[in-house]
Structure 1
Amino acid sequence: MLKTYKGSCHCGSVQFECDLDLSAGTSRCNCSFCSKTRFWKAFAKGGAFRLLQGAESLSDYQWTSPIESSPILHHFFCKRCGVRPFSRGWLEDFGGEFHAVYLSCLDDAEQDIAAAPVQYQDGRNDDYESCPAETRHL
């Protein structure tokens, strides 16, 4: 069931809300970005993500796949405190625009996060439908 969550960076400059169904699952990936940043995420598609304040406080690291010519992921972080509250992307196979929300940036969602199932993805081998052999470090 969709629930509206509020989230923020550490210093509070960036604030957002999003509609997520955490009981439908969250994900962790072993690609170099996700594993190095411990990116535990849930996806908000289309208009299910709303930036409430702090657009001017965001910096954008753009990632381009080796097989793409333009950036497909924008990893945003707060210029003041350095926290990465969400990423934005667009993939046809994923239904268009989406936001990947860092679960650690959701405010007052500990109970829902603790109960949420986790799906592991083998992004290191571009096989996002499969679980990697080792997940304990993710």
Structure 2
Amino acid sequence: MPLVPAFILRRLYVKSSLHNTTGGWSFTLRNSLGSGYATGLVPLKLDEATEIPMAKTWFIDGESGDTITFDQVTDQNTFGLKMNKEIEINVDGKPLPPGEHIVYFGCIVPGIGQIGFDFTDMVPS
């Protein structure tokens, strides 16, 4: 089974996109690696310790415009990231304190299994 190294997957993260929102925080992914999809997402991890509930983590489907929470991603309702497209990942909850944070993003890809990567970025004060 092929393994995709985290240092390659880390290229999906749009640098400096981690920021607070009125209802929590978000970051952006941009696919420059090749079209693909996931049949499952795993909980985000914040600062290597806090696991974010999947029902509180969501994105807007680029084709339908629907809001989809991480726990709604299945074999029939996939998470797609087309080539050269961006998608914003949103987290409902408390905003992040200013400073450096580590976020882990993972997904389940058919034929590969679970893959993921972490990134470090600053939330401005």
Whether these two folds match at TM > 0.5 is no
TM-score scaled by length of structure 1: 0.30
More strand by percentage = 2
Larger Rg: 1
More helix by share: 1
